[in-house]
Structure 1
Amino acid sequence: MAFDLSNEAAPGVGAASPSLSSDEDATASEFDSNFGDGIEPEHVLDHGRAILDSMEAEDDHGPDMPTSSLLTFASNHSQLDTALAASHAIPQRPYSSIVRRFMVLVTAICVYFGLGREPAGLLLSFFSIAVEPLLDPADPPIPRQLDTVRRHLGTLPVLRYYALYERPGKPKMIFAYQSLVEWLTWLLSQPGVEVAMAEWRDRDPDVRLRDVWDGLAWRSELDPQRRAFTDHSLSLLVALGIDWFSLFRSQYTSWHSTGAILMCILNLPPRLRYLFSSTYIAGCTPGPKEPKATAIGGYLRPMLEELELLNEGMSICTHEAPNGRLVRLRVAFYSGDTVGRNKVAAFEHALPLRDDHQHRLDAERYQRPFASKADKDLHERNTGARYSPLLQLSYWRSVSRSPVDYMHCLELGLAKRLFHRVLIVGEVITPAHLAIIQRGLQTCRVPSSEQAPDQRLGDPGGGSATAAHWSTLMRRLLPLLLFVAWRDIIVADDELDYVIKPVDTSARPDSDATHNTPEPATLLSLPSRSRVKKPRKRLRIARPVNARDVVRNVAQLAAATTLAARRSMSLPDVDQLDAILRDYGRTTAVLFGAAAIIYNLHLALHLPEHIRRFGPAYHFSAYHFERMNGQLGRTPTNRHRNGEIETTYTTAFVTSGKVVPGVDAELGFCGLRTPPTEGSAGGGARSSLLRNF
């Protein structure tokens, strides 16, 4: 259910605020932006637009009624054109180089260190009073308000706001959306960007997979005329990522989950592809909970409408072509974890291998009415398809454009489960063995490019290891640490005990403690269970496993993780990865039983196919979007809900992305550039700046 906020928004809330004249430096203009001191302005809604008459809870839809989207979006491209015109109608004042550099410095400090409006205003006032009298009096005076400085520098975000709610009786929430066309226009106006987007054409053609450009998907993307989509100079392919993360939790607040809708342009070289300035954020879904699969389409609808236009092609003014040139853009693939992929690409949690065209037909059928809810559920179970909002794009195929993320599948999935569930909980690693492993973690030295895990790993309070920690542990350390801990057992070719599952022998008829575990011989003589409660006992059911075989099994996963993490692969490497993953699955089943064959192990078998399609797994991994989420989570907010936190995140992200090119220009760098190596001219200051960036 939805409520539409007109795009003709009230002042401070609409698609584009009217441009203020150069002398309109009023205090009221300071509250047009949400970024700075953490105090959010009040969002004035358009009360002239009434709430829809039929308001039902999301779960109250009949079985044959299509679920309406959470957000309604008025298709009015003239308003988009107005917003774009207003955003580019920024007064260009001939500030002196000293004044302009100070304005850029103050804006950068606000972005990087959270300096608020009042202290920023004090710095600007001090410069105006103490420094400007020493400069040329013919130069324009420096503004004394932060938002005026941002507007004159072109870093003030232009966002559109929508009001929405989940169900009747709940407060309305704000969803801030950044226009994709406006952001793309800004990016292409930066010097050097178009040249960087064409670098992939000069790559050395060989049989190795070095980037997404070398995959089958890049070459097989066709336009409606059946020609290669990327043959045109500005036909762009992007990666879409949507991932939810928890913001904060304390004794006074509960979990608050938000999701950032992000894109990166794959035509850019890797050194520029994953920077803030070259990453597009559409917005952040308001918390406190993740939207359901039936509601995610509402948040994507404004972006999808622009994607449809960009697929056909739009004339956009660029740095190399001020009068405009044709720009086309498509989503090459979705990158995210299993939950996000199932929600956005509309998969069931498990389904047989599907044809991408048939899956699209089944998903479109799911959106049409059914005779009953049971028929709809049966269709979903039989086809494994649900409707995805991305199906609005004529070229979208969920099966072929939703690769498995190796970070969540291997590092946070298989590696983490092997260590915790199999080795620690399964008591293959005893407390004495764990102490040896932890001493090894404490004394080991890893390359500077790696992140060593916490030395308390394996303890209940051993901290929360990240994907980088699990990757280092699996690829660099775990096989060697296990050999050191089990040296005597391995030399003697002895066995270890693997605890399958503690068995509860209490008389509970609904107990499933032994549901998937065969009864051991010691329990065959026990009397049948009754409903009479008895003292609860837990029996330790263990099976012997050979220590050498366990180390070989761990080494197989280490080899697979190492191959999948490579930035450059040959086709024989991909075949080797496929063989290793299959061998790992077989040895896991033999050693630890069929219960150890989990969903992530099945997903991992698809990785080789996806590497052939999209290049090395690093380039379709969700790691880059996870890093952006981490940066968003560190943005200071006042923790006001109903979309205000997410609006602050979106505004801060957009502002920081636009500030860095301005800093580059003042430092003598043009466009988006990678930092020079340490020790080269300007390397130290530039590198430290981009570390914060």
Structure 2
Amino acid sequence: MLDRLTATVLGAGSGNDDDSDMEASTDAPAPESSKHSDFKPVAVAPILLLSDALQGFFERPGMVEAVQEWKTKSHSDEKLESIQDGEIWKTQEAADGSRFFYDEGIDELRIGVSFGIDWFGRKSSHYGPSHSSGVLSFCVQNLSPELRYRPENLIVVGMPPGPTEPTSPQLQNYSKIIVDDLIKLFEDGILIDIPGRPKRRYHVRVALISIIADHPAMCKIAGFADHGHKNAPCHKCKVCKAEMFTAASLQNKFPGRTKEEHNQLAKQYRDLETEAEKDAFFMEHGVRWSEFVRLEYFDIIRCTVIDPMHNLLLGVAKTQWYSIWIKEKVLRPDTNARERELHFIHNILEMFECPSWTGHLPLRVGEPAGGSLTADEYKFSVTAPWAIIIPVVWDIFRPKEHEHANEQYQQKKAEYDSELCTWQRKRIATRGDPPQPPSEPVYRMKIGEEENFLRFATALKIIIGSVIYREMIPRASSLPHFWQLYGADSMKPNHHWAIHILDQIRDFGPVYSFWAFLTERLNKTLKNLNSNNWAGGQLEVSMMREFQRGVQLETVMERTINSPTKSVLEKDFVRILSGNMSKGPRGTIQDAAQSGSTSEKVQLGPIGKSAHRVNNSLQKALLQLYNWEEPHVHFGSEDIEGTETLHMYIRTYQHAFLSGRKIIPCSLHGYPVGSSLIQALFDNVPYAGEVLYIFSHRQPGVNVSHNEIFAAVRWMVPSKWSPLDNTNLWSSFPELGIETWKFNKFFDLDTNLPPMIIPFKNIQCQVSRCKVTHTDPHLWITTTMDRFITPAIAAGFTDDND
């Protein structure tokens, strides 16, 4: 299909409103005679060169400043906060051998991009055939997360036509066009004119930082072998298929592959003349030709990443939950006679309270009615509800299951002993073969499974943190324990590939810079666009045109909002239009997009309807707050010299953001209490509670900033009890922040410690909470929803938190 490809190049910039297309041929053979004006290609594919797309990208208001903002941020050798902290960004060389990403001194815009590739399916009707469309896109890694995760800031450069996915050699037709452009952008750069700026013309250079895709797409675009290859099932190291699940493999002790060796093999593959020779070469070396090898500065081994979303969430986590526990019936649904493990899990999930921005699990998880879990749902479940539930389930059901297995074994053993005695009494000539003894009991619920799961949950929580302390990285390894518990037969290729994730974090910073949530969201955006049902690539042309129209419309609206010549009415209308068009992401995308949306830790939501008069508890708490060191404030009925009368009104807020995450007071009716649950430290001890109010209070005579925001909190009472026989299990994994509390018990609101009123910025993080009712007394159990794990958290706050 692709041997006569014609690429449709969409017009650059924002001025091509007539949708006129420019035809650009690839290496495909030309028609025999140009006189055949009715000659048509077998298929067309929309292509937008990155060098052309950057013109429209930089015409958007604020983009010149946005791609240089990273230079203004401080960086620490102790932690990784962004891709700029990774080794790749810090060591990338320019064409002249100097540092490509400079801090000062060069009057150019230097852009680092990641290349994404993925496919998505769609149907023209319920009964129609499926159609698979590809998406080739770039993400500008200079941008902060809140800009990087906006779909209009992703640059779609091509869509290979369906209805089926192209092969690796066919895909190189598209790659050649893209790589030719990347070479020009890196070596020579381009000049971009941006009207309306003091400096109108900018010299822009671009370096490819990474290739991001799921594993099959990664192998196609980069020319690697997949997991089934005998000699090269991993593109990062030289492990062979037979040794993928050995102890040495899971400890990353095989030598790594190198750029030089791979590029040499790829060129040898390219120079072979026949398909038979290429097939034999690939069978031996696991390498095909990739156009990206032509980027001399690009390390295709190191910079083609293993996607953590598919690898850890839809790979390792899914294997543990679905393959090990659900398919093998370790966790079982109810029968007519008795309630089983999944029933207990479902009961706890029904009472599980969590912030609104988290993913939510289906109530029938683990059963066909619950469906398959998404990556977002695995991310949430492993690090929050299951970290609490799984140890409790094992604590309740494992002793019963082991007792039942032992009883069955003893019954079979008694039957065997009886049969053996009968056999021995028979005459030798008529005995026949002796009976076979029963096998030793095999337990469904293994000893140590709950601890192994908590070890994985801890590793995942560290890995998905928005900030990763370097000293925490070794703690994020759990695979050797999986191998010891379940054996090599239960392991999947994802278990081996996961050992390379930690090296990628060192190279690229936190996973938010190199996982495929962005490309998956782009797929969903394109899939939902209006399009025709044409074949031969016209469907992809329609989708890409529609996407570009949306980007151009967004640009026009941003210009209007930022224009000093537009009226307030015009700007308000455009804001309303923009808000209606933007449906907003959810789950991981929403959380990542908001993680850096402001340089301030606290952002306020709408003000309450009216000033709120403080009740008795708030009065006492405010007096305690203002008179902590010496008297400053008194009640109206008192008259203390040198103090002011307590101001009796506060200004409340409907919600506030803490580091981009929304906290909603539980005093607002109609909102679930989960969004009000928080944790703070007092004397290095964690306390969890429910936020009653978020407010500001202007008190005469007190030196408190008018911008100071407070939270009134109802604190839960810690419990010394644990629902587990092994009471030290959760404390062995302090990164999970799991604590037990007395059910429905709170400190008096006028207690001194913890105080009812605290500065909102002193909140450590939000928490999730579940109710455990099989214990006497009932308990609340919470787990922290931190953005990242600090070494102090990993060490534990104190020896005794009760």
What range is the shorter-chain TM-score in?
Answer: 0.5 to 0.7
**Residue of structure 2 equivalent to 1:332:** 209
Corresponding position: 1:544 with 2:443 = yes
Once the two structures are superposed, residues 424-451 of structure 1 have per-residue CA deviations (whole angstroms, 9 ceiling, x without a partner) of 1111112211122123233322221211
Match of 2:271 among 362, 368, 378: 368
Q: Is the Cα–Cα contact under 8 Å of residues 238 and 266 in structure 1 kept in the other structure? A: yes
Contact 1:258 1:287 in 2 (8 A): yes
Structure 1: gaps spanning 5 or more residues: 8-13, 17-82, 91-149, 498-538, 671-679
2:310 pairs, out of 365, 383, 408, with: 408
Secondary structure of the structure 2 residue equivalent to 1:277: helix
Q: Structure 1: which amino acid aligns with 2:386?
A: L
- By how many angstroms is 1:163 displaced? 9.7
Matched-pair contact (CA < 8 Å) for 2:561–2:575: no
Match of 1:271 in 2: 146
Q: From the superposition, tell whether residues 372 and 403 of structure 1 become closer, same or farther in structure 2 (CA, over 3 Å).
A: closer
Opposite residue 480 of structure 2, the aligned amino acid is R
- State the shift of 1:225 in Å: 1.8
2:6 and 2:522 mapped to 1: Cα distance?
A: 30
CA contact (8 A) 1:162 1:175 kept: no
Equivalent in the alignment of 1:628: 522
- Computing the radius of gyration from Cα coordinates, the structure with the larger value is 2
Contact 2:140 2:154 in 1 (8 A): yes
CA distance in 2, matches of 1:406, 1:396: 21
1:185 maps to 2:87: no
Give % identity: 24
SS in 2 for 1:330: strand
Pick one of 245, 253, 256 that aligns with 2:120. Answer: 245
The separation in 1 between residues aligned to 2:403 and 2:88, in whole angstroms, is 47
Q: In structure 2, give the amino acid aligned to 1:176.
A: P
Bigger strand share: 2
Deviation at 1:455, TM superposition (A): 1.4
Which region of structure 1 is more displaced relative to structure 2, 599-608 or 484-493?
A: 484-493
Please give the per-residue CA displacement for 1:309-363, whole angstroms capped at 9, x wherever unaligned: 1111222223547653321112110011111111111111204131122111111
1:625, 1:388 → 2: CA distance?
21
The Cα shift of 1:202 comes to 0.9
- Alpha-carbon distance, 1:669 to partner: 6.8
Instruction: Note closer, same or farther for the CA distance 1:486–1:656 as it changes in structure 2 (3 Å cut).
Output: same
In the other structure, the counterpart of 1:222 is: 93
Written as runs of structure 1 = structure 2, the 5 A alignment for 1:410-559 is 410-431=312-333, 432-489=340-397, 494=402, 543-544=442-443, 547-559=446-458
- 2:441, 2:520 → 1: CA distance? 39
| Secondary structure of the corresponding residue to residue 216 of structure 2 | helix
1:161/1:309 Cα in 2 relative to 1: closer, same or farther (>3 Å)?
closer
- RMSD across aligned C-alpha pairs, in angstroms? 3.4
Alignment of 1:3-152 (within 5 A): 150=17
CA distance in 2, matches of 1:355, 1:163: 31
List alignment gaps of at least 5 residues for structure 2. Answer: 32-39, 227-232, 239-255, 334-339, 406-437, 565-571, 586-802
| Higher helix proportion (structure 1 or 2) | 1
Query: How many positions carry a matched residue from both structures?
Result: 498
Pair 2,691 (structure 1): closer, same or farther in 2 beyond 3 Å = closer
* Counterpart for residue 116 of structure 1: none
The separation in 2 between residues aligned to 1:367 and 1:558, in whole angstroms, is: 44
In 1, Cα distance between equivalents of 2:144 and 2:393: 44
Go from structure 1 to structure 2 and tell me whether the alpha carbon gap of 1:224 and 1:634 turns closer, same or farther (over 3 Å shift).
same
1:567 aligns with 2:470: no
Amino acid at match of 2:168: A
Mapped partners of 1:669, 1:476: distance in 2: 45
- Cα distance in 1 for partners of 2:439, 2:117 equals 43
Q: Classify the secondary structure of the residue corresponding to 1:605.
A: helix
The normalised TM-score by structure 1 is: 0.66
Alignment-derived partner of residue 601 in structure 1: 495
Instruction: Mark the CA change 1:540 to 1:270 in structure 2 (over 3 Å): closer, same or farther.
Output: farther
1:291 is matched with: 166
1:254–1:171 Cα change, 3 Å: farther
Report the counterpart of residue 784 of structure 2 in structure 1. none
In 2, the alpha carbon distance for the partners of 1:494 and 1:365 equals 58
Shift of 1:201: 0.6
- Flag the structure with more relative contact order, 1 or 2, with Cα contacts below 8 A and sequence separation at least 6: 1
Distance in 2, matches of 1:372 and 1:296, equals 16
Q: Which amino acid aligns with 1:469?
A: E
Deviations 1:134-170 (A, max 9, x none): xxxxxxxxxxxxxxxx56xxxx58665769999x9x9
1:661 has 2:555 as partner: yes
Residues of 2 paired with 1:495 and 1:465: CA distance?
32
State the alpha-carbon separation in 1 of the partners of residues 327 and 372 from structure 2. Answer: 17
The one-letter code sitting in structure 2 at the alignment partner of 1:214 is D
Q: Is the 8 A contact 1:316 1:327 kept in 2?
A: yes
- The letter of the residue matching 2:319 is R
> 193, 196, 203: which one pairs with 1:317?
193
Range with bigger deviation, 289-298 or 364-373: 364-373
CA apart distance, 1:647: 1.1
Distance of aligned partners of 1:572 and 1:290 in 2 relative to their CA distance in 1, 3 Å threshold = same
Deviation string, structure 1 residues 360-387 (Cα, Å, up to 9, x no partner):
11111111116883x5445334433221
- Taking structure 2 as the reference length, what is the TM-score of the superposition? 0.57
Contact 1:483/1:490, CA 8 A, preserved across alignment: no
Hey, what does 1:257 align to over in structure 2? 132
Q: Does structure 1 retain, via aligned residues, the 8 Å contact 2:117–2:217?
A: yes
